[in-house]
Amino acid sequence: MSRQFRIALLIEALLIVGILGLGLIFWHVVCDETMKTCFKSDSPASMLGFLLLSIIRPLFFSPLGQAAYIAGDSFGLWLGTLLTALGAALSSMLLYFPGHLIGKKVVRPWLSANLPSTWRLIRTQDYKLIFISRWIPIFPFDICSLIFGVADFHARQVFLFSFLGCIPEVYIFASLGAGAGNGLVYVGIKTLSIAAALTTLPLIAYEFMMRKKGSGLWIATKKVYYELVYEARVNNDITRNAVYSADKIPIVLLYGFFSSRKTLAVMEKLLTHEGYDVMSFNLGGSLGVFFTRGIPETAEFIDRKIQRQMKRYGFKKVHVVAHSKGGLVALWWLLRLGGSKYCDKIITMGTPFKGTWLTYLAIFTPLGFFWKDVWQMRPGCSFLKQLHESEVPDNLQIHCLYSREDKVAVDQAGVFSFPGKVDGIPMHHLSHFQFLARRDVAATIANLLKEEPLQDVTDIVEKRAPRSSAPSLLKDSEIDSQKSVG
């Protein structure tokens, strides 16, 4: 059993034990080991107490059906169903908003740049997806709420359609808790069926009309499927560029965590327009597409690839431009694997040299069992310590583009710490993913790759990319037109 697996298992166990411990304290101290003590009557105080318990229910890994059973036992079938559905909608918000914070800063920019059809499906069909997931109990209620937040669904839709969609499941468990007789259950099911028909039939009719217009859920889902298939099978294939010149120093572009070569499409175009030969590689990982491989092993892979390309085309060295995690891969290759023999300039963009707190979001989930790289990007981890303890060769120039608006590598966290040999270049008008789609970034990179002395770089940046009047992003149409590049 690997050390990573053991640590992840220990973290998961401690989280579960801690949450269960809080639940047991609540059960023994507050409820005196019976829910009848907590909810003695139909008083407003009891109902408010139940709603508060429903909101924090996900923290105790308690299923929605259990809450419905308690409500049916304490408040009766109909009132119990209503209170549980309202509590479920409120608890979905508890999980939605933390996920939404993550999604807004990281996932939304990535989805809109990499999977535009998937992004359009989420933004236009989210209420249907929410309603369907709530109607089908095999979709875990609380996990879906978190996913809705990460995927940046609309909060109002999540609340409303969580309330409506969970009513059938809640009603069944509430009837068990209420001990309702056969006659009452029959009347309730019939009423519920009528209500369900009144709720779903308009949605079905609306979906039918939208399908005729070419924008329904089914059509959007098919577009997402074809987009994912294309991403996995076609888009990451390395394009053989037969026009590399032995007289030029090519640029090797490296992308970041859970991204693909598709994210480099705009930057490849911009740097090519500046007159450079540009190459990039599929770095592999999840699904063979999204970059989640370990950093040292990826650096070894890059070393083999670059040497093979040098032999094939006859150039003697390369320059490296790397985004986010790709900068860690490049520095490890240069400082630990001898890559500085073939490269004397590297430019990083938004690279978390001091680690990023976002890695803990993966470590505290089952993803921590499988992804080595999230452990290697923890603040203060042994990998980063080894990287910063490495000696920088005299011939190597390191330029780090960083920004206060970058939520992954915040401000100076995006600068490699090695006094006197690293040039930090502030570009505070940029967020993390904007480094990959800006003309001013490409112009800055082009200037840094020229032969000006290192001490003149700041003057160049000030002239070419003034922070007081930052150029705008490429238009969405321009970016989308590059999706199939490389």
State pLDDT tens for residues 126-161.
888 888 888 877 788 888 888 888 888 889 999 999
Domain presence at residue 149: yes
Domain presence at residue 22: no
Residues 127 and 265 in one domain: no
Average pLDDT of the chain is 76
> Averaged over 63-67, what is the pLDDT?
84
Quote the domain boundaries for residue 261: 245-451
CA nearest to 297, candidates 382, 388, 372: 372
Q: Residue with structure tokens 């890059």?
A: 302
Lowest average pLDDT, out of 3-17, 61-75, 356-370, goes to 3-17
pLDDT-derived band at 62 (thresholds 50, 70, 90) equals confident
Top-confidence range, 92-96, 176-180, 243-247: 92-96
pLDDT-derived band at 373 (thresholds 50, 70, 90) equals confident
pTM for this one? 0.60
Residues 415 and 280 in one domain: yes
pLDDT-derived band at 86 (thresholds 50, 70, 90) equals very high
Residues 211 and 71 in one domain: yes
Residues 147 and 197 in one domain: yes
Percent of the chain exceeding pLDDT 70 equals: 67
Residues 58 and 201 in one domain: yes
Give the pLDDT confidence score for residue 469 in this predicted structure: 34
Domain presence at residue 27: no
Domain presence at residue 283: yes
Give the pLDDT confidence score for residue 441 in this predicted structure: 92
Q: Are 269 and 278 in contact (CB under 8 A)?
A: no
Q: Residue 370: what are its φ and ψ, rounded to 5°?
A: -115, -35
Structure tokens at 104: 């807004």
The structural domain count of the chain equals 2
Instruction: Assign 403 to helix, strand or coil.
Output: strand
Lowest average pLDDT, out of 232-236, 417-421, 462-466, goes to 462-466
Residues 265 and 400 in one domain: yes
Q: Are 37 and 31 in contact (CB under 8 A)?
A: yes
Per-residue DSSP letter, 30: I
Domain presence at residue 251: yes
Residue that terminates a domain, selected from 166, 191, 224: 224
> Averaged over 280-293, what is the pLDDT?
75
Residues 293 and 192 in one domain: no
Residues 189 and 294 in one domain: no
Residues 128 and 260 in one domain: no
Residue 455 has pLDDT above 60, yes or no: no
pLDDT-derived band at 19 (thresholds 50, 70, 90) equals low
Domain presence at residue 482: no
Structure tokens at 387: 């990287």
Residues 274 and 192 in one domain: no
Domain presence at residue 68: yes
Q: How many CA atoms lie within 13 A of 84 on its CB side?
A: 32
Instruction: Assign 286 to helix, strand or coil.
Output: strand
Residue 296 has pLDDT above 90, yes or no: yes
Domain presence at residue 258: yes
Percent of the chain exceeding pLDDT 90 equals: 22
Residues 189 and 254 in one domain: no
pLDDT-derived band at 293 (thresholds 50, 70, 90) equals confident
Residue 278 has pLDDT above 70, yes or no: yes
Give the pLDDT confidence score for residue 195 in this predicted structure: 57
